[in-house]
A and B are shown apart, each in its own frame.
Chain A
Amino acid sequence: MSKIILITGTSKGIGKYLAEYYLNKNFKVIGCSRSNCSLTHENYNHIYGDVANEKDVKKTIKFIKTKYGKLDILINNAGTASMNHFLLTPTETVEKLFRVNYLGTFLYSRESAKLMKKNKFGRIINFTTVASPLSLEGEAIYSSIKAGVEKLTSVLSKELGGYGITVNLIGPTPIKTSLMRTVPADKVKELLDMQVFKRYGDFKDISNVIDFYISQESDFITGQKLFLGGVS
């Protein structure tokens, strides 16, 4: 049977790319987002909902359980960033970033793991950012919430290992997506200059790492984080 993969935030950017990428590999793909999704494919199902809403998350997992009876892979891609000086950061921004980046990852990981454990197999991929190890100015909230996702990943890898579920992290560099549109050009250049390879990341750089994490042979790899571009 084809692998069943759930990807959050598939309406655009990395999530949309990953959905198309794994559809081309004959996976059954379930995507979710709050906004419209243009993807249409016989092996693609889209669930509308908020990643930080427990009921929406449970609805998505119930759909997968009913339709496929299992879930092999979860990619917690949905995320949002905001660049502000700490002194000018609205409280609402902190709450929004926390809900999408952290709470969404928490809820989808928890509910997915409940389904994965029945099959004694699962792969969970979480997203962090190079802004975390680089402690970038202007990214206090985004990078600290992603640091929380890193710690969550580390602990989950231990708690879920006994169920045959691995939990790993990828930390992309800037990629030309809508997330980057709000970042000033000089700030992006400054960031790229901190990388070993001073270029934007490509979508394929991300799918390359995820392919490694989700492979059957990677059952000895969990709790790891891999930053792109030579950032560490």
Chain B
Amino acid sequence: MREKIQEIVFNTTKEFFENSDYELTTSIINNFRLIGDSSPLDSMGLVSLIVEIEESINDNFNVELVLASEKAMSARTSPFINLETLIIFIEEELKASFYNE
């Protein structure tokens, strides 16, 4: 499952940068920073990218996740640090979603 999530997240991120004014200064890899000084995104850019990734995940897995959940916001380590932390968080959320069905 993780490979598929990674592929979706990477592709969505790539498309996001192609279709926005944000400059892609590094490769899209696991430790691609989403927040902090080394991220190419400002706060609005992060919001927009998270919304795009959420939509792609929901469409591909036919689920209705909300990535900016209370769990995500209150986690000791934010899932929005880099793409890898986000991918791991999405995998956990997907598993929980399938388990609850």
Give A residues with C-beta under 8 Å from B. 54-55, 58-59, 62, 114, 117, 162
Contact = CB atoms under 8 A, between A and B. Distances in A.
A10 to B, nearest CB: 22
B66 A117 contact: no
A224 B66 CA distance: 29
B55 interface: yes
B99 to A, nearest CB: 16
A58 B64 contact: yes
A117 B44 contact: no
A58 B59 CA distance: 12
A35 B58 CA distance: 28
Contacts of B51: 114, 117
A62 B64 contact: yes
Nearest to B69: A54
B44 A162 contact: yes
A58 B55 CA distance: 11
B5 to A, nearest CB: 19
A199 to B, nearest CB: 44
B44 A54 contact: no
B44 A59 contact: no
A59 B64 contact: yes
B44 A55 contact: no
Interface string B3-35: 000000000000000000000000000000000
A180 B64 CA distance: 37
Contact of B64 (A55, A117, A162): A55
Nearest to A111: B66
Given A114-B54, A114-B55, 11 more contacts: A54-B66, A55-B64, A58-B64, A58-B66, A59-B64, A62-B58, A62-B64, A114-B51, A117-B48, A117-B51, A162-B44
Contacts of B44: 162
13 contacts: A54-B66, A55-B64, A58-B64, A58-B66, A59-B64, A62-B58, A62-B64, A114-B51, A114-B54, A114-B55, A117-B48, A117-B51, A162-B44
A128 B20 CA distance: 36
Interface in B48-65: 48, 51, 54-55, 58, 64
Contacts of B64: 55, 58-59, 62
A122 to B, nearest CB: 13
B58 to A, nearest CB: 8
B81 to A, nearest CB: 23
A220 B6 CA distance: 40
A109 to B, nearest CB: 14
Residue among B55, B58, B66 with most chain A CB within 10 A? B66
A54 B68 CA distance: 13
